[in-house]
Amino acid sequence: MADSEAIRRAVAEALRQHLGESPRPIIDEAAVSAAAEGSTLNVPPGALVTPLARALAVERRVKLVEGRPAVAPGERPVVAIGADHGGFPLKETLKADLQKSYTVIDCGTGSTDAVDYPDYALAVAELVRAGRAWRGIMIDGAGIGSCMVANKVPGVRAALCYDYATAVNSREHNDANYLTLGAGLIGTALAKQIVEVWLKTDFGGGRHQKRVDKIVAVDEQFRKS
Protein backbone atom coordinates (compact mmCIF):
# COMPACT_ATOMS: atom_id res chain seq x y z
CA MET A 1 0.00 0.00 0.00
CA ALA A 2 2.79 2.43 0.90
CA ASP A 3 4.56 1.74 -2.41
CA SER A 4 1.31 2.29 -4.31
CA GLU A 5 0.72 5.63 -2.58
CA ALA A 6 4.30 6.72 -3.29
CA ILE A 7 3.90 5.88 -6.98
CA ARG A 8 0.63 7.82 -7.15
CA ARG A 9 2.21 10.87 -5.56
CA ALA A 10 5.22 10.69 -7.90
CA VAL A 11 3.06 10.41 -11.00
CA ALA A 12 0.81 13.24 -9.84
CA GLU A 13 3.81 15.50 -9.23
CA ALA A 14 5.27 14.66 -12.65
CA LEU A 15 1.93 15.49 -14.26
CA ARG A 16 1.72 18.85 -12.48
CA GLN A 17 5.26 19.74 -13.58
CA HIS A 18 4.42 18.76 -17.16
CA LEU A 19 1.25 20.84 -17.22
CA GLY A 20 2.84 23.82 -15.51
CA GLU A 21 0.35 26.58 -14.85
CA SER A 22 -2.44 25.05 -16.91
CA PRO A 23 -5.73 26.98 -16.64
CA ARG A 24 -7.67 23.71 -16.85
CA PRO A 25 -8.88 22.33 -13.53
CA ILE A 26 -7.35 18.94 -12.67
CA ILE A 27 -9.21 16.02 -11.13
CA ASP A 28 -6.59 13.80 -9.52
CA GLU A 29 -6.67 10.73 -7.30
CA ALA A 30 -7.03 12.90 -4.20
CA ALA A 31 -10.34 14.26 -5.49
CA VAL A 32 -11.59 10.73 -6.19
CA SER A 33 -10.39 9.52 -2.78
CA ALA A 34 -12.36 12.29 -1.11
CA ALA A 35 -15.60 11.15 -2.77
CA ALA A 36 -17.69 8.52 -1.02
CA GLU A 37 -17.38 5.03 -2.46
CA GLY A 38 -20.11 4.36 -5.02
CA SER A 39 -20.97 8.06 -5.31
CA THR A 40 -21.01 10.47 -8.25
CA LEU A 41 -18.23 13.05 -8.65
CA ASN A 42 -19.04 16.12 -10.75
CA VAL A 43 -16.20 17.04 -13.09
CA PRO A 44 -16.10 20.69 -14.24
CA PRO A 45 -16.44 21.04 -18.05
CA GLY A 46 -13.01 21.11 -19.69
CA ALA A 47 -11.25 19.61 -16.65
CA LEU A 48 -8.37 17.17 -17.04
CA VAL A 49 -8.95 13.83 -15.29
CA THR A 50 -5.66 12.06 -14.62
CA PRO A 51 -5.25 8.38 -15.56
CA LEU A 52 -4.71 7.49 -11.89
CA ALA A 53 -7.93 9.28 -10.99
CA ARG A 54 -9.85 7.29 -13.59
CA ALA A 55 -8.36 4.02 -12.39
CA LEU A 56 -9.17 4.83 -8.76
CA ALA A 57 -12.71 5.83 -9.75
CA VAL A 58 -13.25 2.38 -11.25
CA GLU A 59 -11.76 0.73 -8.17
CA ARG A 60 -13.98 2.73 -5.79
CA ARG A 61 -17.05 2.69 -8.07
CA VAL A 62 -17.08 6.49 -8.23
CA LYS A 63 -18.90 7.73 -11.32
CA LEU A 64 -17.19 10.70 -12.99
CA VAL A 65 -19.85 12.99 -14.45
CA GLU A 66 -19.18 16.21 -16.29
CA GLY A 67 -21.07 18.87 -14.39
CA ARG A 68 -21.07 22.57 -13.79
CA PRO A 69 -17.95 24.48 -12.78
CA ALA A 70 -17.56 24.96 -9.07
CA VAL A 71 -17.91 28.39 -7.49
CA ALA A 72 -15.46 29.12 -4.68
CA PRO A 73 -16.88 30.51 -1.41
CA GLY A 74 -17.12 34.28 -1.58
CA GLU A 75 -16.57 34.31 -5.33
CA ARG A 76 -19.12 35.94 -7.65
CA PRO A 77 -20.48 33.29 -10.03
CA VAL A 78 -19.89 34.00 -13.71
CA VAL A 79 -23.00 34.19 -15.91
CA ALA A 80 -22.65 34.39 -19.70
CA ILE A 81 -25.51 36.16 -21.48
CA GLY A 82 -26.31 36.62 -25.14
CA ALA A 83 -29.13 37.66 -27.44
CA ASP A 84 -30.04 38.23 -31.05
CA HIS A 85 -31.56 41.51 -32.26
CA GLY A 86 -35.01 40.53 -30.98
CA GLY A 87 -33.67 39.78 -27.52
CA PHE A 88 -31.23 42.69 -27.26
CA PRO A 89 -33.44 45.10 -25.24
CA LEU A 90 -34.34 42.39 -22.72
CA LYS A 91 -30.69 41.30 -22.49
CA GLU A 92 -29.64 44.80 -21.53
CA THR A 93 -32.31 44.98 -18.82
CA LEU A 94 -31.44 41.57 -17.38
CA LYS A 95 -27.71 42.27 -17.56
CA ALA A 96 -28.08 45.38 -15.42
CA ASP A 97 -29.83 43.34 -12.72
CA LEU A 98 -27.39 40.43 -12.94
CA GLN A 99 -24.34 42.64 -12.50
CA LYS A 100 -25.45 43.40 -8.94
CA SER A 101 -24.74 39.81 -7.82
CA TYR A 102 -22.83 38.09 -10.63
CA THR A 103 -19.86 38.59 -12.90
CA VAL A 104 -21.46 38.89 -16.34
CA ILE A 105 -19.88 38.04 -19.68
CA ASP A 106 -21.85 39.70 -22.48
CA CYS A 107 -21.55 37.66 -25.68
CA GLY A 108 -23.56 40.16 -27.77
CA THR A 109 -25.31 41.22 -29.84
CA GLY A 110 -24.78 44.90 -29.19
CA SER A 111 -27.75 46.47 -31.00
CA THR A 112 -31.11 45.79 -32.64
CA ASP A 113 -29.48 45.33 -36.05
CA ALA A 114 -30.45 41.96 -37.54
CA VAL A 115 -28.13 39.05 -36.66
CA ASP A 116 -28.35 35.24 -36.59
CA TYR A 117 -29.26 33.77 -33.19
CA PRO A 118 -27.18 30.56 -33.61
CA ASP A 119 -23.95 32.58 -33.49
CA TYR A 120 -24.72 34.09 -30.10
CA ALA A 121 -26.34 30.97 -28.66
CA LEU A 122 -23.17 29.05 -29.52
CA ALA A 123 -20.91 31.72 -28.00
CA VAL A 124 -22.73 31.44 -24.66
CA ALA A 125 -22.77 27.63 -24.83
CA GLU A 126 -19.03 27.45 -25.46
CA LEU A 127 -18.33 29.42 -22.29
CA VAL A 128 -20.51 27.04 -20.28
CA ARG A 129 -18.92 24.03 -21.97
CA ALA A 130 -15.39 25.29 -21.22
CA GLY A 131 -16.20 25.99 -17.58
CA ARG A 132 -15.61 29.73 -17.97
CA ALA A 133 -19.24 30.42 -17.08
CA TRP A 134 -21.20 28.89 -14.20
CA ARG A 135 -24.47 29.36 -16.11
CA GLY A 136 -25.54 30.69 -19.50
CA ILE A 137 -28.58 32.72 -20.56
CA MET A 138 -29.66 33.38 -24.15
CA ILE A 139 -32.59 35.47 -25.41
CA ASP A 140 -34.11 35.42 -28.87
CA GLY A 141 -37.62 35.97 -30.18
CA ALA A 142 -39.11 32.66 -29.03
CA GLY A 143 -36.20 30.97 -27.22
CA ILE A 144 -36.69 27.76 -29.20
CA GLY A 145 -33.93 28.04 -31.79
CA SER A 146 -31.29 29.03 -29.28
CA CYS A 147 -32.24 26.09 -27.07
CA MET A 148 -31.75 23.76 -30.06
CA VAL A 149 -28.30 25.20 -30.75
CA ALA A 150 -27.14 25.04 -27.14
CA ASN A 151 -28.23 21.43 -26.67
CA LYS A 152 -25.95 20.34 -29.49
CA VAL A 153 -22.91 21.38 -27.43
CA PRO A 154 -21.60 18.56 -25.19
CA GLY A 155 -21.88 19.37 -21.51
CA VAL A 156 -24.67 21.89 -22.01
CA ARG A 157 -28.18 21.19 -20.74
CA ALA A 158 -30.36 24.00 -22.05
CA ALA A 159 -33.94 24.64 -21.01
CA LEU A 160 -36.50 26.99 -22.54
CA CYS A 161 -38.42 28.44 -19.59
CA TYR A 162 -41.53 30.56 -19.83
CA ASP A 163 -42.81 30.71 -16.23
CA TYR A 164 -41.84 30.16 -12.59
CA ALA A 165 -42.64 26.43 -12.62
CA THR A 166 -40.53 25.58 -15.68
CA ALA A 167 -37.60 27.56 -14.26
CA VAL A 168 -37.70 25.64 -10.97
CA ASN A 169 -38.24 22.26 -12.66
CA SER A 170 -35.38 22.71 -15.12
CA ARG A 171 -32.96 23.28 -12.27
CA GLU A 172 -34.33 20.97 -9.58
CA HIS A 173 -34.99 17.98 -11.85
CA ASN A 174 -32.70 18.47 -14.86
CA ASP A 175 -29.73 20.44 -13.50
CA ALA A 176 -30.00 22.80 -16.49
CA ASN A 177 -26.95 25.03 -16.87
CA TYR A 178 -28.27 27.10 -19.77
CA LEU A 179 -31.50 29.10 -19.90
CA THR A 180 -33.23 30.35 -23.04
CA LEU A 181 -35.95 32.98 -23.06
CA GLY A 182 -38.36 34.18 -25.73
CA ALA A 183 -38.45 37.97 -25.63
CA GLY A 184 -41.48 37.99 -27.89
CA LEU A 185 -43.44 35.65 -25.62
CA ILE A 186 -42.85 36.95 -22.10
CA GLY A 187 -42.70 40.39 -20.51
CA THR A 188 -39.79 41.97 -18.69
CA ALA A 189 -41.19 41.38 -15.19
CA LEU A 190 -41.74 37.68 -15.84
CA ALA A 191 -38.30 37.33 -17.45
CA LYS A 192 -36.70 38.82 -14.34
CA GLN A 193 -38.61 36.41 -12.10
CA ILE A 194 -37.60 33.42 -14.24
CA VAL A 195 -33.92 34.38 -14.24
CA GLU A 196 -33.85 35.00 -10.49
CA VAL A 197 -35.46 31.69 -9.52
CA TRP A 198 -33.50 29.75 -12.15
CA LEU A 199 -30.17 31.02 -10.82
CA LYS A 200 -31.11 30.44 -7.18
CA THR A 201 -32.68 26.97 -7.44
CA ASP A 202 -30.33 24.08 -6.61
CA PHE A 203 -30.33 20.72 -8.35
CA GLY A 204 -32.35 18.24 -6.31
CA GLY A 205 -30.05 15.24 -6.83
CA GLY A 206 -31.42 12.02 -5.41
CA ARG A 207 -33.70 10.22 -7.85
CA HIS A 208 -33.07 12.95 -10.42
CA GLN A 209 -29.32 12.28 -10.51
CA LYS A 210 -29.56 8.98 -12.36
CA ARG A 211 -31.70 10.64 -15.02
CA VAL A 212 -29.25 13.48 -15.50
CA ASP A 213 -26.50 10.85 -15.65
CA LYS A 214 -28.35 9.32 -18.60
CA ILE A 215 -28.49 12.70 -20.34
CA VAL A 216 -24.73 13.00 -19.88
CA ALA A 217 -24.29 9.44 -21.18
CA VAL A 218 -26.03 10.41 -24.44
CA ASP A 219 -23.45 13.21 -24.84
CA GLU A 220 -20.65 10.71 -24.33
CA GLN A 221 -22.17 8.16 -26.70
CA PHE A 222 -22.37 10.52 -29.65
CA ARG A 223 -19.08 12.26 -28.88
CA LYS A 224 -17.32 8.90 -29.30
CA SER A 225 -19.22 7.81 -32.42
Residue 82, phi then psi, degrees to nearest 5: -150, 170
Please report the domains of the chain, with CATH numbers, ordered by start residue.
2-66 (no CATH), 78-200 (3.40.1400.10)
Q: What is the bridge-based pairing of β-strands 135-140 and 178-182?
A: parallel
Q: How many residues does the chain have?
A: 225
- The Cα–Cα gap between 5 and 28 comes to 13
CB 182 within 8 A of CB 144: yes
What's the DSSP call for residue 192?
H
Nearest to 127 by CA among 138, 117, 116: 138
> From start to end of the chain, where are the E strands?
26-27, 40-43, 48-49, 63-66, 78-83, 103-106, 135-140, 158-160, 178-182
The single residue of 18, 85, 173, 208 carrying the catalytic annotation is 173
- The Cα–Cα gap between 69 and 78 comes to 10
Tell me, yes or no, if 173 is annotated catalytic.
yes
110-119: Cβ within 8 A, 24+ apart: 111/85, 112/85, 112/88, 113/85, 114/85, 115/84, 115/85, 116/84, 117/84, 117/87, 117/141, 117/145, 117/146, 117/149, 118/145, 118/146, 118/149
Q: What is the pLDDT along the chain (225 residues), one digit of tens a residue?
A: 455 556 555 655 555 555 454 455 678 888 888 888 887 777 776 677 777 788 888 888 887 776 555 566 678 999 999 999 999 999 999 999 999 999 999 999 999 999 999 999 999 999 999 889 999 999 999 999 999 999 999 889 999 999 999 999 999 999 999 999 999 999 999 999 999 999 999 999 888 988 988 888 888 788 766
SS3 97: helix
pTM as predicted? 0.73
